[in-house]
Amino acid sequence: MKEGKILLAHGAGGKLSHDLIKELFLPFLENELLSCLDDSAIIPTERSRLAFTTDSYVVKPLFFPGGDIGRLSICGTVNDLAMAGARPLGISTSFILEEGFSKEDLERILSSIKKAALEAGVMVVAGDTKVVEHGAAEGLFITTSGVGIVPEGVDISGSHAMPGDFVIINGPIGDHEIGILLARGEFSLKGEIKSDCAPLNGLVKAILNACTDIHVLRDPTRGGLATVLWEIANSSKVGVIVEEEKITVREEVRGVCDLLGFDPFYLANEGKLVAFVPQKEAEKVFEAMKADPLGRDSVIVGRVVDENPGKVLLKTRIGGHRLLEPLSGEQFPRIC
């Protein structure tokens, strides 16, 4: 029996979440599909490869600038499928509602689910509803699962980064997490930043149309860009170098970070992806991304190298070097 208790930090998507999965979940549930620990599992069938994923949403507050828990629950799952290069086929949604929850709010959330599903071009095909006593859940929690089909010739995984690859990201980082914190009224900060919450399957389609040989796609959600890059460097056993100057952070987001001592590299995003692309295809993919509405602000931020396998190096704005380690400990609970 393991000792100790679950801490909020175990849910932060950083090193502790990782350790919890490795120490407790995998020993019971490990199999060759699960242990890849990618955003979606790829299940081979006779005809094609299916991508399958699931996620729970506990965000607080339920409504925030740029989205709500409903939109988030669709985008999150669509994005997990998209990060496997998969075309989403159908999504299931399960609701855990707290007794006393307002029907009006539920209606708003459902209408936003409908809208997000339309935007992503995916159907909600199954669902479940449970109600628990007052106090046993705060408002409502949603769990969504999704199935998709991985197109022929596409083989994307966090372990496929190769020396020489270019690293591209589709815009400024940190909007979602700072948007949520502001909406929560934490730290009595004023102002409004819109969450970047969006379904990325359209952008991924554009990327794959430009080049099927994409090595890695990942959405830097909890744990942020730093954690995702570190995970990729580790699974692929390569080094990654990124340039601080290239990675954009919105002025307002940087302001909040400076004020509170946050590092934007660890902030969650819900509408961003990093793509690891073979050097000779990089230009083409980059152009295709720029042409997509969700990729207009794309930038090439770094490269994959042979040296320092498992490590991510940041070239700082003043030209120095330092490590980019994964998120350690608690960031903020319930941001998605």
Partner 1 sequence: MNKSKRIDEGNIASIILREISGLADGQIRFMEVCGTHTVSIFRSGIRSLLPEGIELISGPGCPVCVTPVGEIDRAIALAQLKDVTLLTFGDLMSVPGTSSSLNQERAMGRDIRVITSPLDSLEIALKEKKRRIVFFAVGFETTSPAIAAAVKEAKRKRIDNLFLLSSQRLIPPAIRALLSPRKVKIDGFILPGHVSVIIGRTPYSFIASEFSLMGVITGFEALDILKGIYMLLCQKKEGRSEIEIQYTRAVKEEGNQLALKAMEEVFEPVGARWRGLGMILESGLTLREEFKEMDASLVFDIPYEDKKDPPGCICGKILQGLKSPPDCPLFDKRCTPENPVGPCMVSSEGSCAAFRKYGAFR
Binding residues for partner 1 (CB under 8 A):
5-7, 15-16, 19, 187-188, 245, 251, 254, 260-261, 263, 311, 314-323, 325, 328-329
Q: Which is nearer to partner 1, 130 or 322 (CB)?
A: 322
Let me know: does 202 contact 294? Beta carbons within 8 Å.
Answer: yes
Orientation of helix 69-82 relative to helix 201-210, angle to 10°: 20
Q: Which is nearer to partner 1, 112 or 227 (CB)?
A: 227
Least separation, in Å, of the C-beta of 2 and partner 1? 14
Tokens read off for 83: 């990060």
Let me know: does 310 contact 233? Beta carbons within 8 Å.
Answer: yes
Taking the CB of residue 310, how many other CB atoms lie within 10 A of it? 13
Q: Which is nearer to partner 1, 19 or 192 (CB)?
A: 19
C-alpha to C-alpha distance for 88 and 122, rounded to whole angstroms: 6
Cross-strand bridge partners of residue 297: none
Q: Which is nearer to partner 1, 27 or 320 (CB)?
A: 320
* Residues whose CB is less than 8 angstroms from the CB of residue 30 and which lie 6 or more positions away in sequence, other chains included: none
Pairing of strands 239-243, 312-315: parallel
Tokens read off for 99: 């007794």
Let me know: does 67 contact 335? Beta carbons within 8 Å.
Answer: no
Burial zone of 330 (CB within 10 Å; 0-12 exposed, 13-18 middle, 19+ buried) = middle
Least separation, in Å, of the C-beta of 303 and partner 1? 18
Cross-strand bridge partners of residue 168: 275, 300
Let me know: does 53 contact 81? Beta carbons within 8 Å.
Answer: yes
Q: Is the backbone peptide bond immediately before 172 cis, with ω within 30 degrees of 0?
A: no
Least separation, in Å, of the C-beta of 8 and partner 1? 8
DSSP state of 296: T
Tokens read off for 214: 């994409």
Least separation, in Å, of the C-beta of 14 and partner 1? 8
Sign for the pseudo-dihedral over CA of 286, 290, 294, 297 = positive
84 closest CA partner among 41, 37, 46, 118 = 41
Q: Which is nearer to partner 1, 95 or 265 (CB)?
A: 265
Q: Which is nearer to partner 1, 108 or 315 (CB)?
A: 315
Q: In the Cβ-directed half-sphere of 17, how many Cα atoms lie within 13 Å?
A: 18
Q: Which is nearer to partner 1, 15 or 334 (CB)?
A: 15
Least separation, in Å, of the C-beta of 237 and partner 1? 18
Q: Which is nearer to partner 1, 268 or 299 (CB)?
A: 299
Least separation, in Å, of the C-beta of 318 and partner 1? 4
Q: Which is nearer to partner 1, 217 or 233 (CB)?
A: 233
Least separation, in Å, of the C-beta of 190 and partner 1? 15
